[in-house]
Amino acid sequence: MENTTERTELSSLGEFGLIDRLKKFAHLKNTDSLLGIGDDAAVIDCGDHVRLVSTDMMVEGIHFDLSYMPLKHLGYKAVATNVSDIAAMNGKPTQLTVSIAVSSKFSLEAIEELYRGIQAACEVYNVDLVGGDTTSSRSGLMISITIIGTANKQDVVYRSTAKDKDIICVTGDLGGAYMGLQLLEREKQVFLANPNAQPQLEDKDYVVQRQLKPEARMDFIHELKNLEIRPTSMIDISDGLASELMHLCKASGLGARIYEDKLPIDSQTEQIANEFNISTNTCMLNGGEDYELLFTISQDDYAKLRNHPDVTTIGYMHSADKGIHMVSIGQQLVPLTAQGWNHFE
C-alpha cells in the first residue's frame, strides 16, 4: 500500500503507542488553540470562556456487541462516554455531532432506536445534537461523536497539574462495568451453545447496568462547584484505574502511591468477580468503562471531601522517582502497570 520498505504493525504499538507516533503531525499555531492532544479534551480560547472539544469512535465488534447491547442503550452510552470527557475537564457539555456508518443490515427503525438513546442522553446531560454525517459501511455499525463543552478559563482542570503530596480521589466504585461485560459475554456463549437457555442475570442488575448504561459524573462536577473545590488534576476512568493514574502521573511529572484496601468496589462486583475467579484488583485496576472520575486535590481541601459518601481517597502523589505503586493488603509495594486496551491486537 505504501512505498516505504519498513512495515511496523499497529498491533506492536497499541493505541497509546500509535497516538504517541501521530502527535508529531499536530502543531498548534492558532493562538486560540490553548491545548491540543494529550488530555480528555482540547481547549479553545473563546475570549471570556473556553470551549472544550473531545471525540470518540465506537466500532461494532470492537467496542460493542449488538447481541446483548440494545441500540438505544448504545446511543445513550456513546453520548455518556463523550460527556464524561468534558466532565473530566471540569466543564459542562453544550453541543455534539453524531456521525454513523451503517451496513444494510440496519433498518431505519433500528437507526431511530439508536437515536432515541442519543436523544435521551442529550436530555439528561443537557447537550444539543447540532450536526453529523450518515453514510453506509461495508460491515456493521460505526459511531463517531464529537462533543463540545464550555468552562470558565480558570475552572478547567488538566491532567498535568497535580502537585506533590496531593490526595488522590475517585468517585463511585470501580470494576462493575468490566464484570458486567464478563457476565454478558458468558450469557452470550451459553445462548450460542443452547438457544433455549435463559440468561442468568438475576440479582446482577448493578454490574449489567454499569456496562450497558454508564453515566457520566456531571452530577459530581456540579457538586464540586458547590463544595468550592477545584481538583488539581482530573481524568475520567475509561480504561481502568491503573492506566488513568499513570496518565495523570506522566502528565504531571509525578509518581503516586495508592492503597489496595482503599479501592472502592461494589459488593455485587466483588461477588461476581469471585464467582468468575477474577481478582477484584484486576477489575478495579484494569477493567474499563466505569466512567468514574479520578482526581487529585490539595491537602487543604481534604476536610471538605473526607466524609463524602461517593468519594474515596485512595492515596497520594509524590515525586516521580518514587514510582507509581499500590500498597497491597499484605503491605507489599506493587508497581502499577497499565493494561489499558489494545484494539489492534
Hey, which residues between 116 and 155 contact a second copy (CB under 8 A)? Answer: 116, 118-119, 122, 126-140, 142, 144, 146, 148, 150
Taking the CA atoms of residue 103, residue 108, residue 110 and residue 115 in that order, the dihedral angle to the nearest 10 degrees is 110
Task: Tell me which amino acid residue 122 is.
Answer: C
Provide the terminal-to-terminal Cα distance of the chain, rounded to the nearest Å: 20
- Answer yes or no whether residue 321 interacts with a second copy by CB under 8 A: no
121/183 with CB nearer a second copy: 121
137/339 with CB nearer a second copy: 137
Taking the alpha carbons of 95, 289, 330, 306 in that order, is the dihedral positive or negative? Answer: positive
Instruction: Using the rule CB under 8 A, give the single segment among 4-12, 158-166, 229-237, 247-255 that binds a second copy.
Output: 4-12
Task: Tell me which amino acid residue 137 is.
Answer: S
- Answer yes or no whether residue 48 interacts with a second copy by CB under 8 A: yes
- Answer yes or no whether residue 101 interacts with a second copy by CB under 8 A: yes
- Answer yes or no whether residue 29 interacts with a second copy by CB under 8 A: yes
Instruction: Using the rule CB under 8 A, give the single segment among 38-46, 156-164, 284-292, 312-320 that binds a second copy.
Output: 38-46
26/197 with CB nearer a second copy: 26
**Residue appearing with cell numbers 491545548:** 35
Smallest separation (angstroms) from a second copy to the CB of 286: 19
- Answer yes or no whether residue 71 interacts with a second copy by CB under 8 A: yes
Tell me the pairing of strands 233-237 and 292-297.
antiparallel
Residues 216-255 close enough to bind a second copy by CB under 8 A: none
Please say whether the beta carbons of 62 and 102 come within 8 A.
Answer: no
- Answer yes or no whether residue 112 interacts with a second copy by CB under 8 A: yes
10/334 with CB nearer a second copy: 10
Question: Alpha-carbon distance 170 to 315, whole Å?
Answer: 10
85/292 with CB nearer a second copy: 85
Please say whether the beta carbons of 294 and 246 come within 8 A.
Answer: no
Question: Alpha-carbon distance 22 to 162, whole Å?
Answer: 26
- Answer yes or no whether residue 339 interacts with a second copy by CB under 8 A: no
- Answer yes or no whether residue 185 interacts with a second copy by CB under 8 A: no
Please spell the DSSP secondary structure of 265-284, one letter per residue. --HHHHHHHHHTT--HHIII
**Residue appearing with cell numbers 449488538:** 66
Cell of 155: 475552572
Q: Which of 124, 316, 337, 144 is CA-nearest to residue 239? A: 337
Q: 205-212 and 176-193 helices cross at what angle (nearest 10)?
A: 100
- Answer yes or no whether residue 192 interacts with a second copy by CB under 8 A: no
Instruction: Using the rule CB under 8 A, give the single segment among 57-65, 165-173, 175-183, 222-230 that binds a second copy.
Output: 57-65
- Answer yes or no whether residue 51 interacts with a second copy by CB under 8 A: yes
218/265 with CB nearer a second copy: 218
Smallest separation (angstroms) from a second copy to the CB of 12: 8
Question: Alpha-carbon distance 77 to 71, whole Å?
Answer: 10
Question: Alpha-carbon distance 341 to 335, whole Å?
Answer: 19
- Answer yes or no whether residue 65 interacts with a second copy by CB under 8 A: no
Smallest separation (angstroms) from a second copy to the CB of 197: 20
1/303 with CB nearer a second copy: 1
The count of chain residues that interact with a second copy, using the rule CB under 8 A, is 91
- Answer yes or no whether residue 20 interacts with a second copy by CB under 8 A: no
The total of other beta-carbon atoms located within 10 Å of residue 46's CB is: 12
- Answer yes or no whether residue 108 interacts with a second copy by CB under 8 A: yes
Question: Alpha-carbon distance 16 to 178, whole Å?
Answer: 20
3-state SS class at 201: coil
Residues 284-303 close enough to bind a second copy by CB under 8 A: none
- Answer yes or no whether residue 62 interacts with a second copy by CB under 8 A: yes
Please say whether the beta carbons of 142 and 60 come within 8 A.
Answer: yes
- Answer yes or no whether residue 111 interacts with a second copy by CB under 8 A: yes
- Answer yes or no whether residue 11 interacts with a second copy by CB under 8 A: yes
